[in-house]
Structure 1
Amino acid sequence: MPPCVTVLIIGAGCRGKRYSYFAVHFPNRMKVVGVADPRAFARNDLQKIHSIDKKNVFNDWKVATERERFADAVIIATPDRLHKAPAIAFANKGYHILLEKPMAVTPEDCKEIVSVCAANNVMLAVCHVLRYYPASLKIKELLDAGAIGDICHIQHLEPVGFWHFAHSFVRGNWRNEAESTFSLLAKSCHDIDLINFWMGDKRCLKVSSFGSLSHFTNEHKPKGAASRCLDCSVEQTCPYSAKKIYLQRAEKGYFNWPVSVVCNSGVCDIEAVTEALRSGPYGRCVYECDNDVVSNQVVNMEFEGGATAAFTMMAFTERLGTRKTTIYGTKGELFCAGGGPVQVFDFCTREKTAYPTNKSAFIPSHLMGHDGADYYLMDSFISALTIFYWTI
């Protein structure tokens, strides 16, 4: 029987916790044996879920690197600017690594991580989870099969969602470039990666890009607005009201993301949400935050052979995550919105065909993020490690 892969979780936030659930649903394939997080409630929660020995629960990942290696792999899901140091430290200890995107916030740091992993002969995988998205894979399959001939142009949109942008990039962890990174890297490195993935072996030769922070600034603050939504007399007419985004959800009994992010004590109920909005960052007026990342950006790319691509990241959209892709080829046109189906119009037959995406018969609810791509990512990483250990 193949060995069960043991894993250490570094960063017990939304992504680290989500990936760790693979062990709950597939205990014969993966076991979480350690966790590191500076927040007591976060690491204690993960310890309870996975019955982790208290000697392997750390408030600082550096302490774990002072020990002899006690797991096969590490999942690093720390904030963006805190990826490089643990990746290098654990690679030097011989841990295989699943690293949350973005890999790092500078090209130099990315190169150093790759170099250290190669020197230590450890596996490195980056969580470009949309590579495992069923619709993305179906698009790639059709392109490689020549369904639309040679690619001439890719048009791709990521609609961030009006309230999602306010949550993550105005009030939240990714609002300030000095603390995290710029919004295109934090939010849309998935999409730039997908465009390169679909283009195949054609290298990008030229890039131009423009973006701006066009609305969430003090000069756009409505007359009479308060510094906090709970005290605001014009809150009811504001689409970015923290009461609408968090408190109204909580009042309906919904305490998952994004409400769960607001409660930093580990207790998540109406009282905790209300107090968090009264005193924490998520209750601030969106026009009085220390945000500086752009809310809309375009990227134009030219590839070998003359093919081009145009990408748009847009904050101000009704829906979040329902990406729209149109690919123009010499023999047809391909279109996909969200999870599909993928539609192909054939220039020769003048017929349009809808191709369903391939989805597993069973995906646990905890791993349904990105339309099941969270599951496929973890399944692929654990399978790769299992094969590695089975063949040595």
Structure 2
Amino acid sequence: MHQITAVLVGAGARGRFVYGAYAKKYPEELKIVAVAEPNKERRQLAAKDYGLSSDQLYESWEQILTKTKIADVAVISTQDRMHYAPTMKALELGYDVLLEKPMSPSPIEVIDMANASRKHNRLLTVSHVLRYTPFWSKIKEVIESGAIGSIVSIQSSENVGYFHMAHSFVRGNWNKSEETSPMILQKSCHDMDILSWLIDEKCTRVSSYGSLLHFRSENAPDGTTLRCTEGCAVERECPYSAIRIYEEAETHEWSRFITNDITPEGIKEALRSGPFGRCVYHCDNNVVDHQVVNMEFESGSTASFTMSGFSHDISRTVQIMGTLGEIRGYMEKNEIVLYPFGKKAIEIPLTVEEGGHGGGDEGLMREFLKQVRKGNNIGGQGLTSAEASLQSHLMAFAAEQSRLEGGNSVVVEELNARYTCSSADELSFLQLHIASTEIII
């Protein structure tokens, strides 16, 4: 096992607390040799975390991804709408790439990135971490054993958690779809990916409903203020109180995401002046807080998915109904029960792993580095390659189109064909423009 070197593009929450943390925990496997991050404070923290000098720190991806390749892999964990350009440049330079999900909120860019992975013969692994968890891996294994026969229908739920909803999608970085991604893509492309993987067929049709129902100014209780710190009359009773979630919490699990200074004074200042101290009813959010999606697959099997920001915990549950049996699972409890028809129920044992997403974060990193060492640099390979992720992204795009159209059924292949043609047309235009420019010069 030889050490893989990496450039880290984006040193925010995922960059520092997942990919960077893996390098610190397993230095014999991964070494970060350069970081690109526009925030000066985060760059300084990266220098301390990974032992970097000033000439290994960059303010932008353009600076770090120059004409010279300086590491084995590029880990890209920028904001959603900043994935495309650095990914395309890294692939062109010969980097194997680990890309934070979603690939992009633009279908054309998603298709382009998958094509670029094949063109440059490089790995492009998308961080659909659920596939790497013991929980979902075991469910996939049971399905492939034939224990429940052919899949007829799946019911899946993502319980976002009321505090996570408020943190990330009301107050936080992903609260406006035009700046990041629609909720079904940003938060639930994991779930679209899992459904696609378990059924192992192309999704043919999608319909969806959802809205921003609760976190609106007209739903604010009497006596609320613009910030929880400004003497709100109902702050003590409000479950979304920023003071309760961040300042009075027993641990810094959530406060570490709102400030790099997690002292009491630092947290208090972040709530007083930063976005996370705002009242949830007086933010600039527009992403949905609940959504349902219905899907049909090639064989006629179906799946239904529910995402809700109104749950007491962060969890995922699933019910998989087959011709010979049924599987029920609760991810956060690592509980899987097989119900073979006409026989006794069987509890499936699981090995519990540490780390985020039920061990999926570390599982993703291990598998990606293993592929890099093997030299399997062929576009399309890998458990969560760009090619595999394209299907789940198309499902999410179709769901959002259906939701915006009032629940109309969207044919996924028609959506794919339209954007594939658009991508080809755009590429042809760019090539023609470049050629014309060269002639003029």
- The question of 1:311 aligning with 2:313 is answered no
User: Does the residue aligned with 1:115 lie in a helix, a strand or coil?
Assistant: helix
Q: Which amino acid aligns with 1:313?
A: M
Q: Which amino acid aligns with 1:246?
A: Y
- The question of 1:300 aligning with 2:287 is answered no
Query: Which among 354, 364, 369 is matched to residue 347 of structure 2?
Result: 354
1:152-301 map, 5 Å: 152-200=152-200, 202-231=201-230, 232-249=232-249, 252=250, 254-255=251-252, 257-263=253-259, 266-301=260-295
* Shift of residue 31, structure 1, vs aligned partner: 1.0
Partners of 2:261 and 2:267 within 8 A in 1: no
- The question of 1:336 aligning with 2:329 is answered yes
* Shift of residue 29, structure 1, vs aligned partner: 1.8
Partners of 2:123 and 2:376 within 8 A in 1: no
Tell me which residue corresponds to 1:137.
137
Measured in 1, the distance between the counterparts of 2:182 and 2:241 equals 24
Query: Which 4+ runs in 1 deviate beyond 6 A?
Result: none
Instruction: Show CA shifts across 1:158-190 (max 9, x none).
Output: 000011100000000000011111111110000
Query: Which among 370, 385, 388 is matched to residue 372 of structure 2?
Result: 385
* Shift of residue 25, structure 1, vs aligned partner: 2.4
* Shift of residue 106, structure 1, vs aligned partner: 1.5
Tell me which residue corresponds to 2:71.
71
1:82-101 map, 5 Å: 82-101=82-101
* Shift of residue 28, structure 1, vs aligned partner: 2.1
User: Does the residue aligned with 1:104 lie in a helix, a strand or coil?
Assistant: coil
* Shift of residue 196, structure 1, vs aligned partner: 0.6
Measured in 1, the distance between the counterparts of 2:29 and 2:376 equals 12
User: Does the residue aligned with 1:235 lie in a helix, a strand or coil?
Assistant: coil
Measured in 2, the distance between the counterparts of 1:26 and 1:245 equals 32
Gaps of 5+ in 2: 378-441
Instruction: Show CA shifts across 1:90-149 (max 9, x none).
Output: 111111100000011111101111222222221110000001111101110000101111
Measured in 2, the distance between the counterparts of 1:74 and 1:43 equals 17
Measured in 1, the distance between the counterparts of 2:3 and 2:295 equals 43
Instruction: Show CA shifts across 1:305-326 (max 9, x none).
Output: 2111000000000001x20000
Measured in 2, the distance between the counterparts of 1:16 and 1:291 equals 24
Measured in 1, the distance between the counterparts of 2:135 and 2:149 equals 19
Partners of 1:74 and 1:95 within 8 A in 2: yes
User: Does the residue aligned with 1:31 lie in a helix, a strand or coil?
Assistant: strand
Measured in 2, the distance between the counterparts of 1:220 and 1:135 equals 38
Partners of 2:158 and 2:316 within 8 A in 1: yes
Q: Which amino acid aligns with 2:304?
A: A
Measured in 1, the distance between the counterparts of 2:261 and 2:299 equals 56
Measured in 1, the distance between the counterparts of 2:262 and 2:39 equals 15
Partners of 2:43 and 2:57 within 8 A in 1: yes
Tell me which residue corresponds to 2:407.
none
- The question of 1:376 aligning with 2:363 is answered yes
Tell me which residue corresponds to 1:8.
7
Measured in 1, the distance between the counterparts of 2:23 and 2:98 equals 15
Measured in 1, the distance between the counterparts of 2:3 and 2:48 equals 20
* Shift of residue 389, structure 1, vs aligned partner: 8.2
Q: Which amino acid aligns with 2:341?
A: F
Q: Which amino acid aligns with 1:328?
A: M
Partners of 1:159 and 1:313 within 8 A in 2: yes
Measured in 1, the distance between the counterparts of 2:223 and 2:25 equals 51
TM-score when scaled to structure 2?
0.83
Root mean square deviation of aligned Cα:
1.4
Instruction: Show CA shifts across 1:324-375 (max 9, x none).
Output: 00011111111000242210111132x1000112446xx5xxxx01121111
Partners of 1:138 and 1:358 within 8 A in 2: no
Partners of 2:319 and 2:326 within 8 A in 1: yes
Tell me which residue corresponds to 1:20.
20
Tell me which residue corresponds to 2:405.
none
* Shift of residue 79, structure 1, vs aligned partner: 0.6
